[in-house]
Structure 1
Amino acid sequence: MRTQVAIIGAGPAGMLLSHLLAADGVDSVIVEARTEQYVLSRIRAGILEHSSVELLRSAGLGDRLSHKGIEHRGIYLQTPGERHHLDFVDLVGRSVWVYGQTEVQKDLVAARRAADQQIIYQAADAAVHDITTDRPYVTFTVDGKAQRLDAEVIAGCDGSFGPSRAAVPQTVKQVWEKIYPYSWLGVLADVAPSTDELIYAWHPDGFAMHSMRSQTVSRLYLQVPNDTDVKSWSHERIWEALSTRLGASIDGWSLQAGPITESSVLPMRSYVQTPMRHGKLFLAGDAAHIVPPTGAKGLNLAIADVSVLAPALTALIKKNDPTLADDYSHTALQRVWRCTHFSWWMTSMLHISGDPFDAQLQQSQLRWVSSSRAAATGLAENYAGLPLHIG
């Protein structure tokens, strides 16, 4: 097989890249290790930045988002007994949208299927070859049969554990990583949200968050130790902890419980690998960087990466102009590091560490953000207002 761009990974980054390339007349083939149903069903991010929504709409992917998505003006920040609303629209003129990654994936799958995009699912043992030459290629097996895909360039959109990240030699790459001393216990529940917008709650027992996926499905999180076994948390215990941390002391508010349909423990880490390009291999999304979910940046960073990468590859392939491709890593990393810092800042401000001194600093910072327009504007700009290309 031969194509112009070989894309490894059929998640949002890979699918959106193929969609944007096709709009510019560039052919691609997508290779994915998992089944289509597995990729569609993965529970991931749920918040889209204003700029991400604008890009999806401009690419013809906004119809279901406009009908099923929930636009939010801001978020709530909470300490015991106090809840403050930050209005992003008032502060920076931009909103965010609740629209789960599963929904974005559905839209992308439908669009690529309508365009007869070639996607090879259940491609095992994928590997990249000759990425520092003009003839890179990808090998993999399907039903035990060896396959080869030749391309002009390869886009690694295959996440943390795919072959693309590891294909960059140790002598070339630099890695920055932080492992946080806590995790999130996340649950999906078939119950209407008890809040109109997300609640980020600092509590002596640990951080808690109330999010949602729709008008009938709630998404909630609890800070837990890294070695937590999800089986040790009964549904009754989960709801009790959520009720305590999210607002037992907030007058006139109560958390509505319901059937929990999914629960899992999510480790928290920050990871950046540079450069995001080596030869004819370009990394995008989780293949290059991971952020803790506190700042709602993971999916949005993948969208931003692809928005930079698609025109760069188009110019390289159709015009033989390498300028944007040569600048890709530097350009993308401007936003990656800004979002990595914001995610670390939100995480550090809201999660207890066990140090009483840190707890006082966190509460002081939360009071400052909640009472100072300048501080609130900084949070709002990062949460909702970053352009896709910065720097």
Structure 2
Amino acid sequence: DIEYARIERHDKTDDGQRPLIKFRRRNSNKEELIECDFIAGCDGGASKCCRHSIPKDEIRTIRKSYPYSWLSILVDSPPDGHELVYSFDKTNGFALQSLRSPTKSRYHLQVSVDDKLEDWPDERIWSQLNKRLTLKDKSWKLNEGAIIHRALFPIRTSMTIPMQYKRLFLVGDAAHIVPPTAAKGLNVAVKDARILAEAIIDVYDNNTFDKLDNYTDKCLIHISEAEEFANYMTSLLHKLDLSNENNEINEFDEIFQRARQHQFQHSDALRRHIAQMYVS
């Protein structure tokens, strides 16, 4: 395990030497060094290493926070079926059954952004999951079980631009957070990594930096598409908050949401497009 890491040099232009990373392992007083040609910043959105090593006037981060959170639980029971189950309940909100393993299930519930874990005892969790997920004809219902892990996390999105500084290149959550509703986070991170790998190979094979110089612009194409699709899915499936002062604006959002849900229910072309976006 790494106790801390910091980037000392980003490029040869700093002092004529290669990029340099200093780090220390947990339970060790010895500082270790890595010299390299390039740095891939894959340390996630919460890390204080890669993205935070870039001067603030060289990058900017665009953020959006949604007015709700997810309560996520891991349950010691097999999933009922082999598909993800999404649900929108206009009274209670969003719920999702996702697949974890043949013996364990993952569930997510839309909750208030102000809620705490102690607000959600087991009885309330299962009551809400059953209300939101169980079909009216009882042809499909939950496999309840012991809750072995639970967590709350706010739904948010962000993009850091540019995704590169000298010979440091941000990858995945270090550069962008995608709302989880569309399950695109890993897909987008893998696309980032592939584009960066191909660009670095081009440097060694052809001694050209054109692809590396274009890394951010190339990545922003698929990142923007994923962010837009995740925002669409999130807005489509979550109960809206009409309680704040902008009630007139939010009422329009509810009208638009009903229109999108109607389109989804009655348009084969739209459902095919959503399916294509979901798996791409």
Question: Which of 170, 186, 189 is matched with 2:56 structurally?
Answer: 170
- 1:370 Cα deviation (Å)? 2.4
Give the AA of the match of 1:325.
L
Which structure 1 residue ranges, 4+ long, deviate > 6 Å from structure 2? none
Q: 1:250 to 1:184 in 2, by over 3 A?
A: farther
Deviation per CA, 1:244-264: give whole Å up to 9, x if none.
Answer: 011252442222211111110
- 1:374 Cα deviation (Å)? 1.6
Question: Which of 125, 144, 164 is matched with 1:257 structurally?
Answer: 144
The structure number with the bigger radius of gyration is: 2
Give the AA of the match of 1:381.
Q
Deviation per CA, 1:262-281: give whole Å up to 9, x if none.
Answer: 11012111000011111000
Partner of 1:144: 29
Q: Distance in 2 between matches of 1:303 and 1:177?
A: 22
> 1:237-316 counterparts in 2 under 5 A?
237-316=124-203
Partner of 1:375: 270
SS in 2 for 1:354: coil
- 1:342 Cα deviation (Å)? 0.6
Q: Distance in 1 between matches of 2:269 and 2:134?
A: 27
Aligned residues of 1:193 and 1:212 also touching (Cα < 8 A): yes
Q: Distance in 1 between matches of 2:265 and 2:207?
A: 51
- 1:340 Cα deviation (Å)? 0.6
Q: Distance in 2 between matches of 1:285 and 1:187?
A: 24
Q: Distance in 2 between matches of 1:250 and 1:352?
A: 23
For these two proteins, the number of residue pairs brought into alignment is 264
Alignment of 1:127 with 2:12, yes or no, is no
- 1:230 Cα deviation (Å)? 1.2
Could you say which structure has the greater relative contact order, defined with CA pairs below 8 angstroms and 6 or more residues apart?
Answer: 1
Q: Distance in 2 between matches of 1:199 and 1:150?
A: 47
Aligned residues of 2:85 and 2:97 also touching (Cα < 8 A): yes
Aligned residues of 2:24 and 2:31 also touching (Cα < 8 A): yes
> 1:188-267 counterparts in 2 under 5 A?
188-203=74-89, 204-267=91-154
* Structure 1 portions without partners, runs of 5+: 1-121, 387-391
Aligned residues of 1:291 and 1:297 also touching (Cα < 8 A): yes
Give the AA of the match of 1:201.
S
Aligned residues of 1:133 and 1:279 also touching (Cα < 8 A): no
Q: Percent identity?
A: 36
Q: Distance in 1 between matches of 2:255 and 2:137?
A: 20
Partner of 1:160: 45
**Which stretch has the larger CA shift, 234-243 or 314-323?**
314-323
> 1:361-372 counterparts in 2 under 5 A?
361-372=256-267
- 1:323 Cα deviation (Å)? 1.7
- 1:320 Cα deviation (Å)? 2.0
Partner of 2:220: 333
Q: CA RMSD in A?
A: 1.6
Give the AA of the match of 2:185.
G
Aligned residues of 1:269 and 1:292 also touching (Cα < 8 A): yes
Question: Which of 316, 321, 324 is matched with 2:211 structurally?
Answer: 324
Alignment of 1:358 with 2:253, yes or no, is yes
- 1:361 Cα deviation (Å)? 3.2
**Which stretch has the larger CA shift, 349-358 or 223-232?**
349-358
- 1:133 Cα deviation (Å)? 2.7
SS in 2 for 1:207: strand
Aligned residues of 2:82 and 2:99 also touching (Cα < 8 A): no
Give the AA of the match of 1:323.
D
Give the AA of the match of 1:308.
I
Q: Distance in 1 between matches of 2:204 and 2:115?
A: 48
- 1:239 Cα deviation (Å)? 0.8
* Structure 2 portions without partners, runs of 5+: 243-250
Give the AA of the match of 2:21.
V
**Which stretch has the larger CA shift, 272-281 or 354-363?**
354-363
**Which stretch has the larger CA shift, 166-175 or 243-252?**
243-252
Q: 1:136 to 1:380 in 2, by over 3 A?
A: same
> 1:13-162 counterparts in 2 under 5 A?
122-133=1-12, 135-142=18-25, 143-162=28-47
Q: Distance in 2 between matches of 1:132 and 1:177?
A: 29
Aligned residues of 1:209 and 1:221 also touching (Cα < 8 A): yes
Give the AA of the match of 1:245.
R
What's the TM-score once normalised by structure 1's chain length?
A: 0.65
